[in-house]
């Protein structure tokens, strides 16, 4: 018994933060993508590190754990450098992309034309989520050219669109795919990419203090598209993974 106990005690516990409280990142019933990812990483790192999942609002992560950035010693899941003003990737360490996503505009019913620029939305009612930042839209709301109605969650914001209380909302494609069926008007929802936006990779963000941990996590993430176990997890959440660049493994 001495060897297993010693191995267990050697594991370093690390906080893994998820700032999303909606599917597919969490699940109202069953296992969300955050639990699946943390359990997968724990199996791969067994004996050295163990991640403890915490779900918290994005603002709390920014103010309590990332301020100042050099003191961050945990992981933040499903993030992108632009979310935390780290496009140059100098403030934090970043894994390869877990999967791609893109910010979308969601309307109810047919639109008279494709939105080419944010100015095309002036005078409309925008459904936002409390605590979220919306690049471009926040400035329009402050200037009075866009009316913002705040909801407590992305699900609630999507229902506001269905009820006609707002003209549109914004959320990522992956979130929309998970939430549309429960919106109340899925067959009437129309989505298009946010003007001038590009797909972005959702990654694992890590503090710079533990470069060994960051390297090991990045190595695991790089190999995940070729792991049949992880491909089954992703498919269960309707997520497309990058192509496998080597031989498939697992059963």
pTM of the model: 0.86
Q: According to CATH, where is 3.40.190.10 located in the chain? A: 2-100+200-236, 103-193
Pair 198, 215: CB distance under 8 Å: no
> Tell me, what DSSP letter sits at residue 249?
B
List the one residue out of 175, 64, 185, 198 whose CA is nearest residue 129.
175
pLDDT digits (tens), the chain, 251 positions: 444 444 455 789 999 999 998 899 998 777 899 999 999 999 999 989 999 999 998 888 988 999 888 889 999 999 999 889 899 999 999 999 999 999 999 999 876 568 899 999 999 999 998 877 898 999 999 999 999 999 988 899 999 999 999 999 999 999 999 999 888 899 999 999 999 889 999 999 999 989 999 999 999 999 999 999 999 999 999 899 988 988 888 87
Relative to beta strand 93-94, strand 200-206 is antiparallel
Q: Which fold has domain 103-193?
A: D-Maltodextrin-Binding Protein; domain 2 (3.40.190)
- Where are any strands of DSSP class E within 8-141? 12-18, 49-55, 75-79, 93-94, 99-101, 103-108, 125-129
Tokens matching residue 146:
């866009």
Pair 106, 192: CB distance under 8 Å: no
C-alpha span between 176 and 186 (Å, rounded): 10
**CB pairs under 8 A, 24+ apart, for 31-39?**
33/78, 33/233, 33/237, 33/239, 34/77, 34/78, 36/233, 36/237, 37/77, 37/98, 38/77
Chain centroid, CA 148 distance in Å: 23
Domain boundaries 2-100+200-236, corresponding CATH code: 3.40.190.10
């Amino acid at each position: 018994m001495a060897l297993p106990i010693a191995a267990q005690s050697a594991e370093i516990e690390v906080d893994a933060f998820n700032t999303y409280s909606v599917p597919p990142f969490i699940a109202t019933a069953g296992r969300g993508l955050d639990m699946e990812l943390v359990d997968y990483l724990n199996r791969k790192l067994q004996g050295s590190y163990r991640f403890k999942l915490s779900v918290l609002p994005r603002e709390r992560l920014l103010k309590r754990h990332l301020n100042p950035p050099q003191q961050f010693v945990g992981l933040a899941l499903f993030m992108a450098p632009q979310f935390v003003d780290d496009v140059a990737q100098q403030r934090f360490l970043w894994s390869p992309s877990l999967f791609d996503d893109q910010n979308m505009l969601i309307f109810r019913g047919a639109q008279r034309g494709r939105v080419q620029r944010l100015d095309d939305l002036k005078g409309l009612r925008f459904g936002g989520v409390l605590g979220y930042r919306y690049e471009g839209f926040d400035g329009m709301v402050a200037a009075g050219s866009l009316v913002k109605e705040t909801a407590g969650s992305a699900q609630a914001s999507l229902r506001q669109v269905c009820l006609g209380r707002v003209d549109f909302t914004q959320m990522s494609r992956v979130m929309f795919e998970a939430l549309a069926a429960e919106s109340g008007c899925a067959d009437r929802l129309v989505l298009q990419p946010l003007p001038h936006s590009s797909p972005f990779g959702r990654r694992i963000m890590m503090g710079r203090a533990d470069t060994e941990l960051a390297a090991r996590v990045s190595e695991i993430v790089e190999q995940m598209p070729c792991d049949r176990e992880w491909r089954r997890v992703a498919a269960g959440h309707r997520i497309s993974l990058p192509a496998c660049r080597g031989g498939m493994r697992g059963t």
